[in-house]
């Protein structure tokens, strides 16, 4: 994607800000680079990448490039793998984030007359509070439920008549199933869904839309870069628009780091343009997508990226074949009788990888025929044969956060 003159200037201003702070991690990283010498996109592309591990090394507050008194809050990305990453925010960062999130709601046709039931978690995590900031900026009514407590969620959905649900796709599906089971669909007033924080298949989207009678939108973001709300899909549902007045986006080859032309799939790399507390320079997200060339039919000029295909580190390797979760979802998407819900279990037996694919079926599907069809399509599209096991609808675990779909027992 072509970098604009304004973006280049903003990035240079940001590099100068970083360079003034002794001991900040980026200053160390950029040692030896002549910032004044950066005159073009090509010059910028010579800057080193930053990785989540770099950010983690700056724990606890080494990412900050502003004086202590300008920091108004911190957030932290999930610490499931060791030390968390702590991101400091100035008031401008918080305001910029709320502007971006409010823009997401507007893109989805949500107004100040809507009532937004927010089910993602609050706290160090950026999810719940991002939904809240955007709702308040828009002037809508935030219903800050937080995660879990499905009983109360449903009660509020009926009594408050929430018109928008903010949720992970797993939790939206769980709520849809519960609403169906209790026959509540005519008692609720939902019309839109803002679904974020995990990748979801088209089949799952169609099912959530159908069962909740909503139009749902895919929101993008990560804690390292404000949080959710840096992009969303539009009513065309053909890619997510990214707010390029706050971010510069690149797609690079995950192996070589080479910048790829628009349209080619690779890893999303983000550079912030005006972030004060913790700017990001060429941050590798490990999310896989592509820039969709051309203008969107909706008329918005913000550039688009495709639905996130997965994470470069979500790839499963079975007998030397690389498999991404979205490929499995594509197979299930074209098999009648298969639902969107699946789980992969990997074992090692007699020195061989064994992949078991558990798939939930639709109520009326025949187990034998379904197993055969999935095995056949899997073999023809992904070129390996898993052990397919059909289970009944609702048998696999649901989560209020992210559903764990791959269980690897091979190296235990």
Give me the residues that bind Zn ion (CB under 5 A), please: 234, 236, 296, 298, 300
Which is nearer to Zn ion, 234 or 281 (by Cβ)?
234
Alpha helix ranges (H) inside 108-193: 127-138, 150-159, 169-181
Which is nearer to Zn ion, 294 or 320 (by Cβ)?
294
Minimum CB–partner distance for residue 297 and Zn ion (Å) = 7
Minimum CB–partner distance for residue 377 and Zn ion (Å) = 31
Tell me what percent of the chain is helix, strand and coil, each rounded to the nearest 5.
30, 25, 45
Bond preceding residue 244 cis, omega within 30 of 0: no
Minimum CB–partner distance for residue 165 and Zn ion (Å) = 22
- What separation in angstroms does the CA of 126 have from each of 24, 137, 158, 278? 23, 16, 27, 15
Minimum CB–partner distance for residue 110 and Zn ion (Å) = 15
Minimum CB–partner distance for residue 7 and Zn ion (Å) = 21
Rg (CA), the chain: 22
Closest CA to 327 of 339, 309, 312, 354: 309
3-class DSSP state of 272: strand
Minimum CB–partner distance for residue 104 and Zn ion (Å) = 12
Give the DSSP H/E element, type plus range, for residue 378: helix 367-382
Contacts of 301 by beta carbon, 8 Å cutoff, 6+ apart: 295
Question: Could you tell me if residue 196 is left (phi over 0), alpha (psi between -120 and 50 degrees) or otherwise beta?
Answer: beta
Which is nearer to Zn ion, 87 or 232 (by Cβ)?
232
Minimum CB–partner distance for residue 230 and Zn ion (Å) = 15
Which is nearer to Zn ion, 235 or 261 (by Cβ)?
235
Closest CA to 250 of 264, 230, 238: 264
Minimum CB–partner distance for residue 237 and Zn ion (Å) = 9
Which is nearer to Zn ion, 111 or 300 (by Cβ)?
300
Residue 191, strand partner residues: none
Contact indicator for 199, 325 with CB cutoff of 8 Å: yes
Which is nearer to Zn ion, 230 or 358 (by Cβ)?
230
Which is nearer to Zn ion, 93 or 218 (by Cβ)?
218
Minimum CB–partner distance for residue 386 and Zn ion (Å) = 37
Pair of tokens at residue 40: 């073009």
Contacts of 255 by beta carbon, 8 Å cutoff, 6+ apart: none
Which is nearer to Zn ion, 188 or 305 (by Cβ)?
305
Minimum CB–partner distance for residue 234 and Zn ion (Å) = 3
Which is nearer to Zn ion, 164 or 234 (by Cβ)?
234
Which is nearer to Zn ion, 47 or 298 (by Cβ)?
298
CA pair distance 214, 216, nearest whole angstrom: 6
Other CB atoms closer than 10 Å to residue 195's CB: what's the count?
27
Minimum CB–partner distance for residue 298 and Zn ion (Å) = 3
3-class DSSP state of 20: coil
Q: Per DSSP, which regions of 182-281 are E strands?
A: 192-196, 215-222, 227-233, 240-242, 247-252, 266-272
Half-sphere CA count of 314, side-chain side, radius 13 A: 20
Closest CA to 102 of 158, 149, 142: 142
Which is nearer to Zn ion, 28 or 236 (by Cβ)?
236
């Amino acid at each position: 994607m072509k970098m604009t003159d304004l973006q280049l200037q903003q990035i240079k201003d940001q590099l100068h800000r970083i360079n003034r702070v002794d001991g900040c991690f980026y200053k160390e990283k950029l040692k030896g680079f002549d910032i004044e010498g950066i005159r073009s996109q090509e010059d910028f592309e010579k800057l080193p990448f930053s990785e989540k591990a770099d950010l983690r090394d700056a724990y606890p507050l080494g990412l900050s490039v502003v004086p202590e008194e300008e920091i108004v809050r911190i957030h932290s990305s999930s610490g499931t793998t060791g030390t968390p990453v702590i991101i400091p925010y100035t008031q401008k960062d918080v305001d910029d984030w709320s502007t971006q999130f409010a823009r997401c709601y507007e893109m989805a046709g949500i107004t100040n007359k809507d009532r937004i039931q927010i089910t993602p978690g609050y706290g160090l995590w950026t999810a719940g509070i991002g939904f809240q900031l955007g709702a308040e900026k828009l002037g809508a009514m935030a219903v800050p439920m937080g995660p879990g407590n499905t009983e109360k969620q449903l009660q509020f959905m009926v009594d408050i008549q929430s018109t928008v649900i903010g949720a992970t796709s797993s939790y939206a599906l769980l709520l849809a199933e519960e609403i169906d089971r209790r026959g509540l669909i005519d008692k609720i007033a939902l019309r839109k869904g803002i679904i974020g924080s995990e990748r979801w298949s088209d089949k799952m989207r169609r099912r959530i839309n159908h069962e909740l009678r909503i139009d749902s939108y895919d929101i993008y973001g990560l804690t390292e870069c404000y949080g959710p709300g840096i992009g969303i899909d539009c009513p065309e549902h053909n890619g997510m628009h990214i707010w390029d007045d706050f971010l510069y986006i690149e797609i690079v080859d995950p192996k070589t780091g080479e910048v790829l032309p628009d349209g080619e799939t690779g890893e999303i790399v983000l550079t912030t343009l005006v972030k004060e507390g913790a700017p990001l320079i060429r941050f590798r997200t490990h999310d896989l997508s592509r820039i969709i060339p051309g203008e969107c039919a909706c008329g918005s000029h913000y550039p688009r990226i495709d639905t996130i295909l997965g994470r470069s580190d979500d790839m499963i390797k079975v007998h030397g074949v690389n498999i991404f979760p979205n490929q499995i979802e594509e197979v299930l998407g074209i098999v009648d009788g298969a639902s969107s819900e699946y789980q992969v279990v990997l074992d090692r037996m007699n020195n061989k990888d064994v992949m078991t694919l558990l798939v939930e079926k639709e109520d009326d599907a025949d187990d034998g025929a379904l197993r055969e069809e999935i095995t056949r399509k899997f073999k023809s599209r992904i070129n390996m044969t898993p052990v397919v096991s059909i289970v009944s609808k609702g048998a696999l675990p649901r989560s209020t956060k992210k559903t764990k779909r791959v269980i690897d027992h091979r190296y235990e």
